[in-house]
Structure 1
Amino acid sequence: MSTQTDSKRRGQAFAGAFAGVAIVVVLAVVFFVVRNSDDSDKTSAAAPPPVATQPSAAPAQPTDAAPQPSEAAPQPTAAQVNTPPALSKEPDVKGGTGRLTKLVKTTLVPGTGPAVQKGQTVTANYKLVKYATGEVMDSSWSRGEPFSTQIGVGAVIKGWDEGIVGLKVGSRTQLDVPEALAYPGQGDLRFVVDVLAAK
């Protein structure tokens, strides 16, 4: 009887020890899985976002549709920009008709300054409307100061990179930008851009 009891107790002790080891192994596995998951989350959070194909300085949503200043190109104050008299009033911008298949530039006020070169920082006033409806999406005029950005280097939408290079300082130009050169899902756009400075 004593042998059976001892054998039973040893079996129970062995089973208890085995269960304890199994619990430790399970806890260790869970710990390492959770820890590795936390490390990968930290790594992904710390990694910089991928470079966008669309300009960081340009709108991605209809409520934020205009290019915004970047840290590399600080926005000048109104006192720093010498606005030609012809560009002193906000333009009245209407929509267009049909669909755009290519970028169209229309000079509204000819400029007398140097032509904008790729890589220069341009200071400009602009007004943006939906091409199909004429609904105003954004305007530097409403913020009370011009906007600065580097041109021709992917800091803004392709419509600006392609449309503003070559414009003369002091000009007012209408840029009709097809959706393919703007923001996906926003349709064709019409900008009226006053080039105030380029350097």
Structure 2
Amino acid sequence: MSERVHNRSAGQGPGTKAERRLAAQLAAKKAAEARRRRQSMLGAAAGVLAVAALIGGIVWLNSGDDDTKSTAAAPSASATVPAGETAPPAPALPEGADPALKTKPTVGPGTGELKKLTVTTLIKGTGPAVKAGQQITTNYVGVLYKDGKPFDSSWDRGQPATFAIGVGQVIKGWDQGLVGVPVGSRVQLDIPADLAYGDTGEVSGPLRFVVDVLAAR
């Protein structure tokens, strides 16, 4: 009995060979399991990177959409109805308003030298007078006073413009010319350069606007 134990300790007996084969098999099994774990981890990491790339692409696309929407919402001097498309729908009018406010006005140039702000009522509304600090909703056409060249129009964008009046959010000619105008009115504002955008820049010099006041809150 003691001799067999001695032979196993020395690595020479048949029992020792069997144990060595078993140990080798166990080592191979462990190595295979380790390889499978590494491959699984690498696959999971690749999956995470793919998902992250997909999410990043979606966020980038959404950001691009937001930028586009933001730009489209800003007033544009060159906005027009694309060829082959119908004109924007008529705006909602205040109760009792003249149906003419559903139609975009034709605006021509002024005559002579414009030295002061001139407000001309084209259609008189029956609503309350606009007060400074109110949010007003308007449709408008803007042209250069000297030659009638259009540079901006809410009609072409298909959406009225809403803003605070009399508090410096718009040009002085609007702040001064629209306060006191009854809701439902169409007025012509002839604005000298110092109450508009000045004498330099793409839109400069005296301007003419025809503005429909649709609401005041």
Distance (Å, rounded) in 2 between the aligned partners of 1:164 and 1:92: 20
Select the structure that is richer in helix.
2
Distance (Å, rounded) in 1 between the aligned partners of 2:110 and 2:150: 13
- Structure 2 residue runs without a partner (length 5+): 1-73, 80-88
Distance (Å, rounded) in 2 between the aligned partners of 1:79 and 1:137: 21
Distance (Å, rounded) in 1 between the aligned partners of 2:157 and 2:216: 21
Secondary structure of 1:160's aligned partner = helix
Question: Are 2:202 and 1:189 equivalent residues in the alignment?
Answer: no
1:86 is displaced (CA, Å) by: 2.2
Q: Is the 8 A contact 2:93 2:102 kept in 1?
A: no
Q: Counterparts of 1:33-182 in structure 2 under 5 Å? A: 64=77, 81-82=92-93, 84=97, 85-182=99-196
Cα deviation code 1:83-138 (max 9, x no counterpart): 53120100000001122111000000011000000000000000000000000111
CA RMSD of aligned residues (A): 2.3
Structure possessing the higher relative contact order (Cα contacts under 8 Å, 6 or more residues apart): 1
Secondary structure of 1:187's aligned partner = coil
Q: Is the 8 A contact 2:143 2:149 kept in 1?
A: yes
Greater C-alpha radius of gyration: 2
In structure 2, the partner of 1:21 is none
Cα deviation code 1:16-36 (max 9, x no counterpart): xxxxxxxxxxxxxxxxxxxxx
Change (3 A) 1:127 1:80: closer
Secondary structure of 1:90's aligned partner = coil
TM-score (norm 1): 0.60
| Amino acid of the structure 1 residue aligned with 2:158 | G
TM-score (norm 2): 0.55
Distance (Å, rounded) in 1 between the aligned partners of 2:78 and 2:174: 13
